[in-house]
Structure 1
Amino acid sequence: MQPASAIDIQSAVSLLTKTPQLLETLLADLPGGLFDWKPKPDRWSISEVLAHLAALEQVYGERVRRILAEDSPPLAKYDLEGAKARGEYSRGSAGENLAHFTRTRRSALAMLTHLPAPAGARTAIHSELGTITLAHLLHEWASHDLGHLRQIAELYRAYAFYPNSGPFMKYSNPQP
Structure 2
Amino acid sequence: MADVFSLVRSILETTPGRWEALASRVPEEVFSRRPAPSEWSARECLLHMIDTETLVFPVRVECILKGEDFPAFDPDAGGGQNLGHLSPAELAERFSRARRDNLKVFEKVKPEDLGKKGIHGELGPVTMEELISQWAGHDLMHLVQAERAIMQVFIEKCGPWKPSYSDHIVGEE
| TM-score (normalizing by structure 1) | 0.82
Q: Is the 8 A contact 2:34 2:41 kept in 1?
A: yes
Question: Is 1:79 aligned to 2:74, yes or no?
Answer: yes
Matches within 5 A, 1:12-161: 12-58=8-54, 59-68=56-65, 70-71=66-67, 73-83=68-78, 92-113=86-107, 115-159=109-153, 161=154
Offset, 1:87: 8.6
Q: Percent same amino acid at aligned positions? A: 28
Q: Aligned partners of 2:39, 2:162: CA distance in 1, in Å?
A: 22
Q: What code does the residue aligned with 1:129 have?
A: L
Q: Is the 8 A contact 2:42 2:149 kept in 1?
A: yes
| TM-score (normalizing by structure 2) | 0.83
Other structure's SS at 1:83 match: coil
Q: Aligned partners of 1:50, 1:97: CA distance in 2, in Å?
A: 7
Residues paired across the two proteins, number: 166
- Unaligned stretches of 5+ in structure 2? none
Offset, 1:29: 2.5
Q: Aligned partners of 1:89, 1:74: CA distance in 2, in Å?
A: 29
The residue that corresponds to 1:164 in the other structure is 157
Q: Aligned partners of 1:170, 1:62: CA distance in 2, in Å?
A: 43
Q: 1:55 to 1:78 in 2, by over 3 A?
A: same
Other structure's SS at 1:132 match: strand
Offset, 1:152: 1.2
Offset, 1:101: 1.0
Q: Aligned partners of 1:96, 1:28: CA distance in 2, in Å?
A: 9
Q: Is the 8 A contact 1:35 1:94 kept in 2?
A: yes
Offset, 1:111: 2.3
Q: Is the 8 A contact 1:9 1:135 kept in 2?
A: no
Which has the larger displacement, 20-29 or 43-52?
A: 20-29
Aligned-pair Cα RMSD in Å:
2.3
Q: Is the 8 A contact 2:24 2:89 kept in 1?
A: no
Deviations 1:53-112 (A, max 9, x none): 0000011111112222x12x111332123338x796856432232121111110000222
Q: Aligned partners of 1:41, 1:170: CA distance in 2, in Å?
A: 22
The residue that corresponds to 1:3 in the other structure is none
The residue that corresponds to 1:4 in the other structure is none
